Chains A and B, each alone.
Chain A
Amino acid sequence: MAAGSSSNVNENIPVFEYKDINTKPFHVGSFRTAWLEKLKPIDYSYEDKYEENEDADFAKEMGIAPETLDELKAICSVDTLRGQAEDEPLDTNVVPPDPTLQTLIQRKKKQDYKGTLRIDKISRVDHYQDELESLAVGKRPEDPADLVPEGEIILSINVLYPAVFERFRYVRPHMTLQMLGSHSLVDLRDAICCISDLQVFGEFSNTPDMAPDFISKDHFKSAFFYFEGVFYNDMRHPECQDMSETTIEWAKTRDFPTFHKAKMEDTRFYDLKVKVGYPYLFCHQGDCEHVVIITDIRLAHKDDCLDRKLYPLLTHKHRVMTRKCAVCHVYIGRWLTTNDPFAPNDPCLFCERCFRMLHYDEKGNKLGQFLAYPYVDPGAFN
């Protein structure tokens, strides 16, 4: 039946499941083929289209004479949109006086308010954070083999921080990564930086120099992604366990549809069937869970970063305040001590130098009884 086949075609076209919130699930690879079918290759290529060719095609299609074409071009050129005469230099930083547009009226209010402030400074760090997005725009690789091919899919993925901080109640802190469709899920996993990966486990007051050898990232390598009822496990290393096993077993006893399993390293983004704008899960270190949202899927464009080596590309990262040492208040805290007679409170943060100075003598002997744990500050990735 005609209706049946058209619904098959439409499955690859993403539509809203809930308006303006998320879409129905669709297959990423088929979405790409659907777009590539509908477009001519020249539409999405990186080269500039020659104007003469474009004009010639247009004249042929519409069947108009060259004089009409010239007249048309003059009418439709961008210069007709400019208001005042060209010789007046226009200051685009200032709202023009007596605005009639509503947007300008609103903006003028803000501008007048800014004028009343004595100091108006934007924090330097926020400034750099804003710059991060446009850092890699338009970059071309030196080696042409590294060029992102035309018609490649770029995904924007938001990975939210694990919501254990109290102060993150009103903001959703996240990092935004841009990935290519041909990347696999392990590339995404490696690109996610979470401080729980750096946590060092154990008490080290007796052996303070041995701390860096025991990073959690090396010990607990298992992780999984959950997309649309399928758990993708990281099975690259022999010590990786299948963490999704428990959940799948539990779901079988309850009234859930059966979940499936797959390998993270074998799945590329093209093979995924996902909803855009819908939260999914990434779990590592056993219990550190991140919400993953795919915000956008689109074809690559001339102005994007076209160097394969730079992907996965970080476009946005929320900054976390770092906790400083209680003694010098200058350096970031590296050690956490409890039961410490030298410390003013329990537990107490110290930076490396203050910690050594206070708790160990010149020869490195431990002074007094205390417990010391290496501390990783959440702002370690700023």
Chain B
Amino acid sequence: MPNGKAKDRFLKPLVADYEELLGRFQQTESVRFEEFTAIWRNMGFSSVFYGSLAGNEMREFCHLTLTMAFNYFLPPYSFQIRVGGLYLLYGLYHTQLASPKEKIRIALKDWEQIQKFYQDSVNSQHYDAVYIIRKLIAENAVLYTAMPQMLTFRVKKKPQHHKVCEEFRDRPERVKDLISTDMLQEVANIQGHHERLKASVLERSSIAVTQQDLPARLHSCVLEFLHWQDRHENHGDADHLVYAEEKAQQVESSNRAQLLASIKTKSYGCLAEASKSRRHRQVEMDTSISGTGYIKEAPKYHKSRAPSLKARTNKNLCGEGDEQKIQYWLLSAAEEDKTALKRQKRKHSFRW
């Protein structure tokens, strides 16, 4: 069912739109649904499904929107972004134009995360988030699957992994995960045990191999780190300004470098490679492109690519071959029918 082509085309603009929406939601610093719908209406997000899409494309597009949006509902995003992802799923599910509606796919491996999220929402009394999760499940909007997407073993195409947007990421809790309360408890127990053994074995228990108050010190280290994280986040804005200024200077210098590079490529790049047999005839340079203000872009409509090695070998060694392949099944067709059977070549086909 899934056509890989639809996914490639629609992916980037869709992700850009999502990150715009979630970025604005993040700035409101709230998890209320009203805030979300205000942004939704502002951006006119329901219109993301408008515009007639040919054939099954609408259904595939809806499927893609839901799959992409689901990524924002899972870790490592922060709680606010995950709530935003949930609201996004709810909105997309109800405003989609495919009929019957495309469902939200939940894989077994993500169910634990979702349950934890639900519990957190219940504990923090976020009524709207809880209500929306329950409503989605009650409306049969969910498909319980093995994997979040249908997998067709497309190894040749580089699989596009979902790039985690750094701004939405949750604060790294790695230190807290490493030095958890359970671990501190165990460390204290082991230390106590060690002390007792030492006391029972040696007469002089003044030799101390380990630090006496290890658990307490670990605990204070962790607290210090958390405080530092808090302070660093609040002062992050000031850092950003300085960083932005530096970046602006870098951009200027890189612009100039780009300009120089473009002039160079223009002078050397217009020479087409002449084959060995035609070297005596110099290829003329294309100096029709004006001025220094023109930055050479890769031409989008590349009609005639340089022939590949296989094609060139074929041409050189095997000759032109049968230009006109005898079409056996057309032998008895009249001449005027033959042209009718040929498809008109489109002047230029659509490039997405």
Contact = CB atoms under 8 A, between A and B. Distances in A.
Contacts of A5: none
Contact of A82 (B43, B46, B103, B109): B46
Interface stretch (A96-104, A141-149, A204-212, A251-259): A96-104
A20 interface: yes
Interface stretch (A125-133, A227-235, A360-368): A125-133
A246 interface: no
Contact of A133 (B45, B56, B155, B329): B56
Is the interface on chain A under 10, 10 to 19, 20 to 34, or 35 or more residues? Answer: 35 or more
A72 B37 contact: no
Given A106-B9, A130-B56, A344-B331, 18 more contacts: A15-B109, A19-B159, A23-B147, A31-B108, A54-B138, A58-B134, A62-B122, A72-B131, A75-B128, A76-B132, A81-B41, A81-B46, A94-B52, A99-B47, A101-B17, A104-B51, A295-B152, A296-B147
Contacts of B94: 78, 81
B168 to A, nearest CB: 18
B301 interface: no
Interface string B80-114: 00000000000100110100110101011101000
The majority secondary structure among interface residues of chain A is mixed
Nearest to B99: A134
Nearest to A343: B328
A158 B50 CA distance: 31
A228 B89 CA distance: 36
Q: Which of B54, B97, B100, B138 has the most chain A CB atoms closer than 10 A to its own CB?
A: B138
A296 B146 contact: yes
**Top 6 A-B residue pairs of the complex, sorted by shortest distance between their CB atoms:** A277-B151, A102-B13, A298-B145, A95-B51, A20-B159, A93-B52
B109 A14 contact: yes
Interface in A308-327: 315-316, 323-327
B189 to A, nearest CB: 17
Interface string B105-141: 1011101000000000010010110111011011110
Contacts of A68: 127
Is the interface on chain B under 10, 10 to 19, 20 to 34, or 35 or more residues? Answer: 35 or more
Contact of B333 (A100, A101, A329, A349): A329
B259 interface: no
A35 B108 contact: yes
Interface in B307-343: 326, 328-333
Nearest to A117: B346
A8 interface: no
Contacts of A266: none
Contact of A277 (B137, B139, B153): B153
Contacts of A172: 152
A376 to B, nearest CB: 16
Given A106-B13, A130-B55, A299-B144, A101 B48 contact: yes
Contacts of B333: 329
